[in-house]
């Protein structure tokens, strides 16, 4: 099973700032099959990025994904008030398709 | 409108069974894989199971292998999650999600979830 580690656990920033979230895999993620999700309290997760760097339909271009192999990054170029949430990475290259523990982005 | 609706959740005792349903509308159902993901209260996401477009390829988390099965009926636009020998640690909100593409792809669109509580 691939274990995903996300850092930091919590990121305290202000609107307008840049956020960089890290996701590291215990072994290489095949074909860079990695996704990023955003979840707000009481809501279902929302897909932001898939295949490491492809933005899902309707996702603002301030969200970008990068990385390959075992190291991946989600970058939010300028935080908007609605971006404060928990962010999860998930690999789907190898079954079981594991999630990371999440990074909370708060003010 | 693309929509996924989960049903079948409830409260059961350890060792009992539940069958969850995921109903889909608004897209070509048999073009996409479907995943089940759960979330325990106040905790993170845990992928549970996934199935490809024609039901011939599936995958299960190690924690549910031998107890849960996943299946789909494309004519009825339904995905099933049969959960047997339930344990307290299976408690959580169960989401179904439409994959971006096949089984090996991210979860694009999610339902609102159905709650499962396993308690004596």
Model confidence pLDDT, tens digit, residues B19-69: 999 999 999 999 999 999 999 988 899 999 999 999 999 999 999 999 999
Tell whether the model's pLDDT for residue A107 goes beyond 90.
Answer: no
Tell whether the model's pLDDT for residue A100 goes beyond 90.
Answer: yes
What is the predicted pLDDT for the residue at B35?
A: 97
Partner residue opposite B100 with nearest CB, options A50, A88, A93: A50
Other beta carbons within 10 Å of A52: 23
CA atoms of A33 and A22, how far apart (whole Å): 15
Residues on chain A touching B113 (C-beta within 8 angstroms) = 44
Asked if B46 lies within 8 A of A45 by C-beta distance, the reply is: no
CA angle B15, B19, B24 (to 5 degrees): 155
B8: phi > 0 → left, psi -120 to 50 → alpha, else beta; which?
left
Model confidence pLDDT, tens digit, residues A33-86: 999 999 999 999 999 999 999 999 999 999 999 999 999 999 999 999 999 999
Tell whether the model's pLDDT for residue A29 goes beyond 90.
Answer: yes
**Going by C-beta distance under 8 Å and a sequence separation of 6 or more, which residues neighbour residue B48?**
B35, B36, B37, B38, B60, B61, B64, B68, B81, B94
Tell whether the model's pLDDT for residue A3 goes beyond 90.
Answer: yes
CA atoms of B96 and A84, how far apart (whole Å): 24
CA atoms of B85 and B14, how far apart (whole Å): 7
Residues on chain A touching B108 (C-beta within 8 angstroms) = 47, 50, 56
What is the predicted pLDDT for the residue at A17?
A: 96
What is the predicted pLDDT for the residue at A42?
A: 93
Residue-by-residue DSSP string for A62-102: TEEEEEETTEEEEEESS--GGG-SEEEEEE-SSSS-PBP--
Compute the average pLDDT of residues B71-100.
97
What is the predicted pLDDT for the residue at A25?
A: 98
Partner residue opposite B46 with nearest CB, options A37, A47, A99: A99
Compute the average pLDDT of residues A80-100.
96
- Bridge partner residues of B21 (DSSP): B7, B80
What is the predicted pLDDT for the residue at B43?
A: 87
Tell whether the model's pLDDT for residue B74 goes beyond 90.
Answer: yes
Task: Give the CA distances from residue A31 to residues A42, A69, A93, A106, in Å, rounded to whole numbers and listed in that order.
Answer: 32, 8, 7, 32
Closest CA relative to residue B113, chosen from B39, B61, B48: B39
């Amino acid at each position: 099973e691939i274990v995903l580690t996300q850092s930091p656990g919590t990121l305290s920033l202000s609107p307008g700032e840049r956020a960089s979230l890290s996701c590291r895999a215990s072994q290489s993620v095949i074909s860079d099959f990695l996704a990023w999700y955003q979840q707000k309290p009481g809501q279902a997760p929302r897909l932001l990025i898939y295949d490491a760097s492809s933005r899902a339909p309707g996702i603002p271009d301030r969200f970008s994904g990068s990385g390959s192999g075992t190291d991946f990054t989600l970058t939010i170029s300028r935080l908007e008030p609605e971006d404060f949430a928990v962010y999860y990475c998930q690999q789907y290259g190898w079954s079981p398709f594991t999630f990371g523990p999440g990074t909370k982005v708060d003010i | 409108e693309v929509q996924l609706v989960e049903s079948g959740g409830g409260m059961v005792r350890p060792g009992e069974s539940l069958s969850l349903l995921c109903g889909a509308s608004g897209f070509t159902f048999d073009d996409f894989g479907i995943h089940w993901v759960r979330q325990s209260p106040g905790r993170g996401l845990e992928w549970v199971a996934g199935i490809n477009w024609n039901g011939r390829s599936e995958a299960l988390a190690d924690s549910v292998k031998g107890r849960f099965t996943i299946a789909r009926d494309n004519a009825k636009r339904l995905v099933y999650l049969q959960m047997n020998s339930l344990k307290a640690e299976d408690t959580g909100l169960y989401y179904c999600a439409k994959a971006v593409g096949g089984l090996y792809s991210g979860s694009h669109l999610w339902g609102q979830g159905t709650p499962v509580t396993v308690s004596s």
